[in-house]
Amino acid sequence: MIVLIGFMGAGKTTVGQLLSGQLGLPFLDADAVIEERAGCPVPQIFAERGEPAFRELEHETIAGLLAGPRTVLALGGGAVEDARTRRLLVGAHVVYLHVPYAGALARVGGDAGRPMLSRPDLEAVYRRRLGAYEAVATHTVRTDGRAPADVCGEIVSRLGVGGSAPHRLTFIYQPNVR
């Protein structure tokens, strides 16, 4: 399992899709799975049920996805704040896509589909999450000023996987040793 984490705007979905194509693994975006299961978009879940209800649904969804077949999985920016979710990530390749706060805002600043953007304490949320990202990451890759394909290439290199076509791919699972 390869799990991409990071703040919104880090490039988790874009890089995840490229990575899945390169490795011949399915790609899943946890937020998209949540929306499909809930039958409504994440902003609506936040508005109607509140953030705590969303976070519980998020944890349950991630637990199910991590128990499933090997994939490239992108988590929502706040998923790792839940200690239960962090414990589930042990044994996975967890790639933290690091983006500076200003870079994240530049990428997503006008996206009305991101309920977190309306928080007046957003920068404090960003700073608080940095520790959680770093605590669970097996690899940290900076994304600021870089093309998604370059970020993907660095991840493939760090994970020690390769091959230009999925049929030549050899994936060596190495559990997270702490």
Q: How much is the pLDDT for 29?
A: 95
> What mean pLDDT do residues 144-154 have?
94
For 1-50, the DSSP string reads -EEEE-STTS-HHHHHHHHHHHHT--EEEHHHHHHHHHTS-HHHHHHHH-
Give CA–CA dist 88/97, Å, rounded.
Answer: 19
Q: Is the dihedral of CA 160, 178, 77, 67 positive or negative?
A: positive
Please classify residue 76 by burial: count the beta carbons closer than 10 Å to its beta carbon, then call 0-12 exposed, 13-18 middle and 19+ buried: buried
Residue 160: how many other CB atoms lie within 10 Å? 11
pLDDT tens by residue, 74-124 = 999 999 999 999 999 998 999 999 999 888 888 887 666 676 666 778 899
Decide if 174 contacts 40 (C-beta within 8 A).
no
Q: How confident is the model at residue 11 (pLDDT cuts 50, 70, 90)?
A: very high
Q: In a 3-state reduction of DSSP, which class is residue 75?
A: coil
16-67 residue pLDDT tens: 999 999 999 999 999 999 999 999 998 889 889 988 999 999 999 999 999 9
Task: Determine the pLDDT at residue 163.
Answer: 45
Q: Which CATH number fits domain 2-168: 3.40.50.300, 3.40.50.1860, 3.40.50.2300, 3.40.50.10330?
A: 3.40.50.300
Q: Is the pLDDT of residue 126 over 60?
A: yes
Query: What residues are paired with 140 via a beta bridge?
Result: 96
Phi, psi of 171 (to 5 degrees): -105, 120
